[in-house]
Structure 1
């Protein structure tokens, strides 16, 4: 029987290939490459720094269906993507070419992906009390990294060095041969509430503090990782997604797009954000926050795997470098190498992060910002490397705001973002990308897009 939970997660994270790890529910932040801590205001502070609600710019702000997606990798090239899309015939690729793919995919950064969607978000500010914000948000995050043995088995099958070095009926263990391999993914729905207010207001100095809370409903979770001999293999997935038939896997989005089916949560949890921000002489901004402090308890459709050994010679491989063949082998490796059984409960941490920011109002129409983000745990969906970015907003005209900057980290290359927003006193829409050069790059290409078409702000303060 197929291990539906793991294959479905692999399908979502590897087959769809449209998500990356950044602030894609905030179009303005995406246009600055993820730089947001000192820029965020109103409902945009949720998940970033609730303290900024203490200095909201409008009495009432709200948005609908604002979000985005993206993908980045240090292993892909345009040629590799083109070959995968071609879906070559089994006998159509040479062993030498498949070896080159195995070598390229031996990387701790094969894939970083994620996506976010604010179905709605609203904030309201009371000058003598502070600011409140509420939102519903969908978050998908994923990460993949392969060690040499895992990558060679994906593309070479029985021609992999580890397969040739192992006896025909010899038992091998995941902890020994896959160390450094990681496949992580999560999909959660959040119900957020946040509050922030000014706590110190002196001449030339203003300090705000804030707290955020989120009720988290887990829809899918997957973790297959090996680090220093420690093996983690578990997953839970909404029953709506866990369809045991080949038609689903041929089109993994079909179930998601069927609005008649309800995605039943398989885990619930609670998360908290805490933050401080300061403004000096109405010019300099400083911000610090810790986000996603908390955990989720997964109790439904939960499977956990044990490393009891498996026989490499029993793996069935195809002589092809097509994406379908690699995905089939990934399924085999996960399902064959581990012995899975139902588990009553699993507690996982939320992807807790430390966020530091500094900003400068250069003029009335120009604002600069610097952000640093550091992962405080290795929970599914957390960033794999620290993030550092510099961003700028420029009001080019009365109704046109341009955003750009430079950013690096999170397992990604250096990026050049761009955002364009049409702004009126009450309405705003915009589009942005994390890296304008990503789709054009021959080495390590990527793609991203964030969008906001229904932003409204009323009662400027």
Structure 2
């Protein structure tokens, strides 16, 4: 396909345990009846349930490269409502008419008129990554394919595999989005976005406790409980949670964002242009769980969760307790995105954006955990890699000692995006992105810098493919890829993407993911 004419190369496109709890009781069951895995997994399920009637779309650092049409190089390329959360300056890109010459004996020409409006009725992306499990084990963890139980040797191997490693999960969706872009007014966009993210990273002690249970060498003594015959493992030299779980990280966040962004060309001619943009967001929070040991050796663990999950914090009471049931918000906040993009010689683009500047104020069902001793436990640990199911079986009768709070504040998962790309033909670009976390300890953010190289290529007037490579961000090496179909003269666009093609080739460091858009329209 040859492009004959284009008027614009920019595309629009512990407590002392009363009885034998352990780390997973603490992390997944911080008090009797408090089930962390249910929180985040339930949140994801809830999000997917909503999506069942409104297919949605993903954008978070696990899925940033599922952007429809530009994969791995979004900072300088994404436009319309998809620029929200990536680079609002790109809303200044103005759609233009493009004329294609399709390869055929008659050399037919196809014209795609400019379309200033873009709307989506829902786009979805979900990704689960683990550097502790291979592909088959991750599939088992998510879908429970394997019913075989671990032997003691299997438990030890699993504990070794999870030492210093873990699982990352993200589910993002655009419930509704739209944009209008013009030369005169610039570009304005809005979106309603659901966002769920979670991280589980174990140190050596947490991994041993999770999979070996009372067989872990930490429990150097045991006795049999008289009234039911249960064998209890206990430590004669118990340690604090903060001593045992240093470098262990458990976090989860569920929010809904209401976004409005604006971008426009500030100055420039045909070949050189400068764009600026800003985005504002009002955020409603439904869950915020964060547990880690800081650089001073202090345990930081707090929770604010919607009544939908009916959490039981034992005898702890909170001045921020919310009566009632259902999906009631427990936090609110505001955020700002800013960005700029420069076009040089109508070929090169350089983009910089700072995303999620702001804070959240959590004032519903707020609790904070205190640092206590881990004394003993009765569980024999996980019997499979399905940590989501196995966590239910560990019903420790103790756990964190919780205290209620009136409120807590947290910063948003701020990050910086840097990008450069080169146009090699209309709708054909190559480039690179760098994503730098500014608040790495906040739920929903990367823990380290992520790099990506990629290309976006229009094969036919109706077919657009993209792909690339990413590394860093605690996710190893990945190969994202996507395909987009543009039909009815560009009126209807639909696409499919994956975060990592290598998962289908190599079993190591898998990322199970999918990005889907089926109802994206331009007019």
**What TM bracket, shorter-length normalisation?**
0.7 to 0.9
2:423 is aligned to 361
Post-superposition shift, 1:125?
A: 2.1
1:192–1:15: structure 2 CA closer, same or farther, 3 Å change rule?
closer
- Taking structure 1 as reference, are residues 331 and 22 closer, same or farther at Cα in structure 2, changes over 3 Å only? farther
Deviations 1:391-414 (A, max 9, x none): 211111121111111111221121
Structure 1 CA distance for aligned equivalents of residues 219 and 271 of structure 2: 68
**Structure 2 CA distance for aligned equivalents of residues 213 and 291 of structure 1:** 10
TM-score w.r.t. the length of structure 1 is 0.87
Residues 330 and 423 (structure 1 numbering): CA distance in 2 closer, same or farther, change over 3 Å?
A: farther
Q: CA deviation at 1:12?
A: 4.1
State yes or no: 1:174 paired with 2:174: no
Residue matched to 2:32:
2
Secondary structure, in 3 states, of the residue corresponding to 1:75?
Answer: coil
Task: Tell me, yes or no, if structure 1 residue 209 matches structure 2 residue 248.
Answer: no
Match of 2:308 in 1: 240
Q: Unpaired segments of 5 or more residues in structure 1?
A: 245-260
Tell me the matched-pair count: 435
Q: Aligned Cα RMSD in Å?
A: 2.8
**Equivalent runs, 1:420-459 vs 2, <5 Å:** 420-424=483-487, 425-458=490-523
1:391 has 2:448 as partner: no
Matched, 1:93 2:93: no
Task: Give the whole-Å Cα distance in 2 for the aligned partners of 1:143 and 1:81.
Answer: 15
**Residue 116 (structure 1) aligns with:** 172
Q: Residue 107 of structure 2 aligns with which residue?
A: none
1:53 pairs with one of 68, 91, 104: 91
Contact 2:67 2:82 in 1 (8 A): no
Tell me the CA shift for residue 59 of structure 1.
Answer: 1.8
Q: TM-score, normalised by structure 2?
A: 0.77
Match of 2:225 in 1: none
Per-residue deviation at 1:242? 2.3
- Is residue 469 of structure 2 the alignment partner of residue 406 of structure 1? yes
SS at match of 2:159: helix
Check 1:168–1:28 CA distance in 2 against 1; reply closer, same or farther (3 A cut).
Answer: closer
Check 1:93–1:430 CA distance in 2 against 1; reply closer, same or farther (3 A cut): closer
Q: Deviations over 1:34-83 (max 9, x none)?
A: 43111111111101111111113242111111121111111011453476
Q: 1:163 aligns with which of 219, 228, 231?
A: 219
Matched, 1:22 2:61: yes
Pick which of 226-235 and 168-177 moved more. Answer: 168-177
Alignment of 1:287-326 (within 5 A): 287-311=351-375, 313=376, 315-318=377-380, 320-322=382-384, 323=386, 326=390
CA distance in structure 2 between the aligned counterparts of 1:88 and 1:20, rounded to whole angstroms: 34
SS in 1 for 2:32: coil
**What residue in structure 1 maps to residue 14 of structure 2?**
none
SS at match of 1:437: helix
> For 1:82 and 1:419, how far apart are their aligned partners in 2?
22
CA 1:15–1:451: 2 relative to 1, 3 Å:
closer
